[in-house]
Amino acid sequence: MDAPDKGPYPYSDTFLLHSKPGSSKVIYLDFDGEALSGTVWNSYYSVSTAFQAGYSLDTSSSFSTTEMDAIQGIFQRVAEDFAPFDVDVTTQDPGVAAIDRAGSGDNNYGTRALITNSEELSYKTCQSSCGGIAYLGVYDHTSSHQYYQPALVFSHMLSLSEKYIAEAVSHEVGHNLGLNHDGTSSVTYYTGHGPWAPIMGVGYYRPVTQWSRGEYADANNTEDDFAVMSSNGLVARTDDHGDSTATATPLPASSPATTSGIISTRSDKDVFAVSTTCTATLTASVAPAPRSPNLDVQLSLLSATGAPLAISNPSAAYSTYDLATGLNAATSTTVAPGTYYLEVDGVGADSPSTGYSDYASLGQYTITVSGCVGPPSSTSYTKISAGSFHTCAVTSSGGVKCWGDNRLGQLGNGTLTSSTTPVQVSGLTSGVQAIWAGRDHTCAMTTTGAIKCWGNNLNGQLGDGTKINRSTPVQVVGLTSGAKAITAGGAFSCAVTPTSAVKCWGLRYAVTPKVVSGAGGAVQLTAGENHACTLTSARAAKCWGSNTSGQVGDGTTTTRMSAVQVKGMASGVSAVWAGRYHTCAYTTAGAAKCWGTNGNHELGDTTTTMRLTPVAVYGLSSGVVGMRGGVSFTCAVKSTRQLLCWGRNAEGQLGNGTNTEMAIPTAVSGFSTDTAMIAAGSWHTCALKQSNGAAYCWGSNSRGQLGDGTTTWRTTPAKVLG
């Protein structure tokens, strides 16, 4: 027997180990022995009900540190074999109820593997000629489940070897899960070739042992091990990391940056995003499980566009019965500052006749990245606006960057490719003072007052006299200079002209700007899905458009084609902001008021009652200096620069770490101070930090509209990359 390596866990945790705590399925590794009664081993094999010894390397009844080292190693090896599954391999006795299956409605069950030195058990069950024995396909039995327990592993018949015992445990549990032996036409148990052997053959003599489907030469069993185990109670665990650059998991912004993962299916590829802040060597390495790894790693370094920059896939080779070389992978590449991706994949070695395919190249790994790693040089923004699935912002140098959905050209970079990180809008690298994102189009106002728009133009919302979609900015007809404000709604846009009139274009207007009656003297604009509002120089709020939910605020639900006075807001208004079907304003005294639809508490008055005229927002009778409205939610900035949101939160758009709808204003995580401005999209929210202009977004991220390099939805603010 080789002396076991030191275990990785505290000795006090040896019998408290879990590979996937909380799983409804369990594989219990029982090392301390037990008395069997009422089992098939008693009735069919005449095993006594006396206590059967557990695992031991000596005659002592207590476990030595050497024995605990071996037990920890056995646990690691078995946990690796079952890492792709939603099952908890554990050394802690889970109790009978967690193993026994009482009926078809009982979904919490498993198996016990008794690792024993019992001479009686090994002799009576297999005449002391095997390393273990177990019944076939009983893992998920709905009757007599306990009768066929436990699976038996005879440690004294396995040279008391840590590796041999672990191989036997996985093999016998495999039988419980319905698997037959892997052999050839001439032998029952195939011992493997090169570095590889099948778990259901004999895995003692090869460093890489995997589940199989009989791809090797002369295989007598071509059953799909994963399919069989799935049909007998085990399913693949939930994927832990994104499989593409669009869904990549960001690595920590530190050097070295380290995280772990599991390749759980043949098609699973784990992709990580890493940001570099200078031109330097970026070194990445991936190591599979430290004991009996099943995973043979290929590591690829990808550019920001997903193009391969470097690929590492060393050839796996036999070194000793317990060590294979070439399973890990590493890259070292000089890169410029920017965002890069690292793709981890499980691959095969040579052919199945001399090595193995990628069928079962699955398991645990650790990825480590070092170099000039850190948060990207953060762009400072001065303005930000959110559409349905995209976001745009004005940089401190007056340029425009956008991110998210680009299927209609709304990012303005000359492509239709969506982006999870900011891209430069063509032709707008400087000289922009305002930005507004509509549903799926965008408009910008330059410092000279020219209005340019891009994206969806189905209804003429770009104002260039056509209905042709544009992936780069086009000039709005008649608004080449002097404009004072802009806004963009669902499928229309508006601007304040040099004479303070309001002109709109798009849905319900025309393909070029037309004057809105009654909206003269405008100093500020805002638009919802199908309505718009303006603030006049007299500090009055006026609205027009669709009014089915009372969003115009005139006390009716009558659609208004010209601007009408919002009731109670003829003076003293500081700003007005439209959500999709509701509107809010705050007074010069800082009091927040809202009106319109209220099905998700977006008005903030503690009710879900639709309001046709303004009502006070709970707790915001003073101190408000900014507001924005999205689809069924609202946000406000206080004079202390604290950010508060309320209403719908199913997508995490309130930023408080939950998905719970809020009836009253609630603090956004990380924005108790320092909020410069906010933007509310359909189901996501963004804000700028006052101290450095950094952009953060949260909520729905299905198209990358949060700009954090992923499509992962966030319930708390995530920093926009770049």
The answer to whether 630 and 585 have CB atoms below 8 angstroms apart is no
178 contact partners, CB below 8 Å, separation of at least 6: 136, 137, 139, 228, 229, 231, 232
What is the model's pLDDT at position 253?
A: 77
Tokens of 232: 């007998």
d(CA 708, CA 688): 14
Amino acid identity for residue 595 in this structure? W
pLDDT at site 377: 54
Taking the C-alpha atoms of residue 434 and residue 290, their distance in angstroms, rounded to an integer, is 55
Q: Which pLDDT value is given to residue 375? A: 61
Enumerate residues 6+ apart whose C-beta is below 8 A from 440.
Answer: 387, 388, 389, 390, 405, 407, 408, 410, 455, 456
Q: What is the pLDDT of residue 549?
A: 98
The answer to whether the predicted template modeling score (pTM) of the entire model surpasses 0.85 is: no
Q: How far apart are CA 203 and CA 161, in angstroms?
A: 12
- At residue 61, the pLDDT reads 86
Sequence ranges of the chain with CATH classification 3.40.390: 11-178
C-alpha–C-alpha distance, residues 26 and 91, integer Å: 10
* Euclidean distance between CA atoms 596 and 611, whole angstroms: 5
**If the chain, 722 residues long, is cut into consecutive pieces of 10 residues, what is the mean pLDDT of each piece?**
80 96 96 96 97 93 95 98 98 96 94 97 96 97 92 96 98 98 97 98 98 97 98 94 85 86 96 88 97 98 92 97 97 91 96 95 97 74 98 96 97 94 94 98 98 98 97 98 98 98 95 98 98 98 98 98 98 98 98 98 98 98 98 98 98 97 97 97 97 95 91 92 76
Q: Indicate the length of the chain as a whole number.
A: 722
Cα–Cα distance list, 330 to 166, 259, 327, 470 (Å): 29, 15, 10, 43
State the pLDDT at residue 609: 98
pLDDT of residue 1: 54
Architecture in CATH of 11-178: 3-Layer(aba) Sandwich (3.40)
Q: Are 437 and 392 in contact (CB under 8 A)?
A: yes
Secondary-structure class of domain 249-374 per CATH: mainly beta
pLDDT of residue 358: 97
Whether 254 and 373 have beta carbons less than 8 Å apart is answered as yes
- Would you state the pLDDT for residue 100? 95
Q: Where in the sequence of the chain do the CATH 2.60.120.380 domains occur?
A: 249-374
